[in-house]
Chains A and B, each alone.
Chain A
Amino acid sequence: MAKQIESLIPEGLNILKKSPELLIVSFLDSCLQIFLIFFWMMIALAGTIFLSAALMAAQAPNALIAVIVVSAVLGYLVLSFGISAFFQGALIGGASIAAQGKKPSFSRLVERGKASFFDLLLASVILFAASLLLFVLIMPAVLFAVMKDIPLAVAAGSFAMAVLMLGSTVIWLAFSPVYYIIVLGRFGVPDCFRKSIDFVKANLVAVLLLTFATTMLQSIIYAPFTVITGPIRWLDIAAEGVGSGIAGVLTLVFFGITLMISKTLSAIWWVLYVKDAGGFPDDELEEEDESGEVIDDVIVEV
């Protein structure tokens, strides 16, 4: 019998307290994603300024400029998904180790991040492409609206919205545990999708409960922080902009903390449930010495 959802909450909090390394994984993930956005924006800006001038001077065809722009976007997406896949593997694997009552050392986290990297990357790219494809359905409606053929735009838009709502709900629900199944069950693509659908069918209510709880977690954690950031804004009365400035910085900090805690705690809850309900075995952990180094050969003397 699978774990009771109610028992996951204190158990998850306990694991989080004992294994703060997991919080660091989430923190690094968010930091790298933010860094990537800034880095890519700078490259895009520099590229636009220098490359477009050079291309225009050389009278390059528009197709070449389009190829460069598309490559830049794709490059960003691949890097972003790559970072996410590595840290997700580390977080889920680390949570699984912590759930066994062991310490998820950084060497083990890196090892887990590398172990399922390509499967997680592929699965996230496929899911993203599927969601994107659903949004493409809206395009004919937009096109008809531009052409001022309103009845056709309404017909196309309405049908597209129906398919979009149904499709995105199916993707959201059927594949919500897919990353956990890849890491915990060591499934590859496409087996992980089949296994995920079977898992959701067998545990529909629990999956819904976990999805709802983890979605609301962020708002629940963030709300008390607003008691601090809200009244600080009143400082604006004394000195224009000071209150809003401090509150803005604090909001960013608190939001980062909220994101870090909610992401880690959600992963722990999912790991605890999926591991138990899916019947996935515990990790076979090698011994480590005191510094956290994995010992290759353990000699047992009798």
Chain B
Amino acid sequence: METDRPDIVKVVEDGVRIYRKNPILALPHVLSTILVLAFTAALLASAAFLAGYVKAMLDADDMGNAMLISIAGIIGIIILLLLGWIIIPSFFQAAAIKMSDSAIAGVRVDHHMAFSPDRERAIDLVMANIVVFIATFIITLVFIVLNIVLRAELGIFLAGGMGLSLMFYPYSIVLNGRGMISAMKEGFQVFWRNRLLIGILWIFIYNIGMVISSLSFIVVFLLMGASALAYLLVGGFSLFGLEAKFLAIGFGFGGFFAITIFTSAFVISPLKMLWETYMYRRLRFGQTD
């Protein structure tokens, strides 16, 4: 199983080169982000509808039913929200890994691949992601308690270490056809045998994401400055339903939100997946093409 170890600089450079040749690799990430946002918006809208319904019940002094519907509604929406946030990205994750793998192997990738994940693999990935989410949730709680009791800062490092050790199970499921438990075992083995290399890759991915996000905020600041300047030069006008004097604030809040999602879907997520796929292929199969 152990193969020659790749140079991390080459992994990063090759990943960027492959992405520049195949920008379509961003498609599954963009689709996933749009669908998750739409799903979240729909659930928030239904929560608002439910709130109106509960208010009408309270107005009619029907306290018992109002309480019951509120509790059931909140629990239902949280469960649906969590399931949606796990299931939707999992299907696109399976397609994205396959696309990245093909691009690394030099095979032409097109947009059809984003909509046709291997059904069996995608379902395995959904199940694995749900299990990992629950495990992470419980372990994070334990770490938080440990942090409070010990007053130590170890929790975040232990949680980070756990995240690292689970980095490769999606690749093992999609690219190696393993089942959930077997993929987790294999992913952990790949991590443990190359922990220094993977640790460095994780440090790079984590920090480069922060650098790209903060650099993209420059655009937001320029938009804010331009809108304030336009207000000074032109005076009263409105854009996107916002009065000129509130435009800078709108660009500020909206811009930070939009740019974070944009850079994540178009730059950070596709590159992260390419680098991880590349690393998995090299460490597991010893070749990239």
State the A residues within 8 Å of B (CB). Answer: 2, 4-6, 9-10, 151-152, 154-159, 161-162, 165-166, 169, 203, 205-206, 208-209, 212-213, 215-216, 220, 222-224, 226-227, 229-231, 233
Contact of B232 among A151, A203, A215, A230 (CB under 8 A): A151
In the assembly, what is the distance between CA of A231 and CA of B152, in Å? 8
In the assembly, what is the distance between CA of A158 and CA of B157, in Å? 36
Known: A155-B228, A165-B214, A206-B9. Is A6-B154 also a contact (CB below 8 A)?
Answer: no
Known: A5-B200, A213-B200, A227-B154. Is A208-B208 also a contact (CB below 8 A)?
Answer: yes
Nearest B-chain residue to A215, judged by Cβ? B207
* 8 A Cβ contacts from B146-200 to A: 150-154, 157, 196-197, 200
Nearest A-chain residue to B231, judged by Cβ? A151
* Nearest CB of chain B from residue A75's CB, rounded to whole Å: 35
Known: A213-B200, A213-B203, A215-B207. Is A230-B151 also a contact (CB below 8 A)?
Answer: yes
The answer, yes or no, to whether B225 is at the interface (CB within 8 Å) is yes
B196, A9: Cβ atoms closer than 8 Å: yes
Contact of B154 among A159, A161, A212, A226 (CB under 8 A): A226
18 extra A-B contacts, CB within 8 A, seeds A208-B211, A209-B8 = A4-B7, A4-B9, A151-B245, A151-B248, A154-B225, A154-B228, A155-B248, A156-B225, A159-B225, A161-B221, A166-B215, A205-B9, A212-B203, A212-B206, A213-B203, A223-B152, A226-B151, A231-B151
Known: A9-B196, A162-B222, A230-B150. Is A205-B13 also a contact (CB below 8 A)?
Answer: yes
User: Which B residues are in CB contact (< 8 Å) with A227?
Assistant: 150, 152, 154
Nearest A-chain residue to B210, judged by Cβ? A212
Known: A165-B215, A166-B218. Is A155-B204 also a contact (CB below 8 A)?
Answer: no
A216, B203: Cβ atoms closer than 8 Å: yes
User: Which A residues are in CB contact (< 8 Å) with B9?
Assistant: 2, 4-5, 203, 205-206, 209
B215, A169: Cβ atoms closer than 8 Å: yes
CB<8 Å pairs between A and B, sample of 30: A4-B7, A4-B9, A6-B196, A9-B196, A9-B200, A151-B248, A152-B232, A154-B248, A155-B248, A158-B224, A159-B222, A162-B222, A165-B214, A166-B218, A169-B215, A205-B12, A206-B9, A209-B9, A209-B204, A212-B206, A212-B207, A212-B208, A213-B200, A215-B207, A216-B203, A222-B153, A224-B154, A226-B150, A227-B150, A227-B152
The answer, yes or no, to whether B229 is at the interface (CB within 8 Å) is yes
In the assembly, what is the distance between CA of A154 and CA of B225, in Å? 7
Known: A6-B8, A169-B211, A209-B200. Is A223-B153 also a contact (CB below 8 A)?
Answer: yes
User: Which B residues are in CB contact (< 8 Å) with A209?
Assistant: 8-9, 12, 200, 203-204
The answer, yes or no, to whether B266 is at the interface (CB within 8 Å) is no
The 7 closest A-B CB pairs, nearest first, are: A158-B225, A230-B151, A155-B228, A162-B221, A212-B207, A158-B224, A230-B152
State the B residues within 8 Å of A (CB). Answer: 5, 7-9, 12-13, 150-154, 157, 196-197, 200, 203-204, 206-208, 211, 214-215, 217-218, 221-222, 224-225, 228-229, 231-232, 245, 248
In the assembly, what is the distance between CA of A157 and CA of B215, in Å? 17
Known: A6-B196, A6-B197, A215-B207. Is A155-B229 also a contact (CB below 8 A)?
Answer: yes
User: Which B residues are in CB contact (< 8 Å) with A156?
Assistant: 225
User: Which A residues are in CB contact (< 8 Å) with B248?
Assistant: 151, 154-155, 158
User: Which A residues are in CB contact (< 8 Å) with B229?
Assistant: 155
* Nearest CB of chain A from residue B166's CB, rounded to whole Å: 20
User: Which B residues are in CB contact (< 8 Å) with A10?
Assistant: 196
Known: A162-B218, A205-B13, A226-B152. Is A151-B207 also a contact (CB below 8 A)?
Answer: no
A6, B228: Cβ atoms closer than 8 Å: no
In the assembly, what is the distance between CA of A215 and CA of B204, in Å? 11
* Nearest CB of chain A from residue B237's CB, rounded to whole Å: 13
Nearest A-chain residue to B197, judged by Cβ? A6
A233, B221: Cβ atoms closer than 8 Å: no
User: Which A residues are in CB contact (< 8 Å) with B152?
Assistant: 223, 226-227, 229-231
In the assembly, what is the distance between CA of A25 and CA of B217, in Å? 40
B221, A159: Cβ atoms closer than 8 Å: yes
* Nearest CB of chain A from residue B210's CB, rounded to whole Å: 9
* Nearest CB of chain A from residue B192's CB, rounded to whole Å: 15
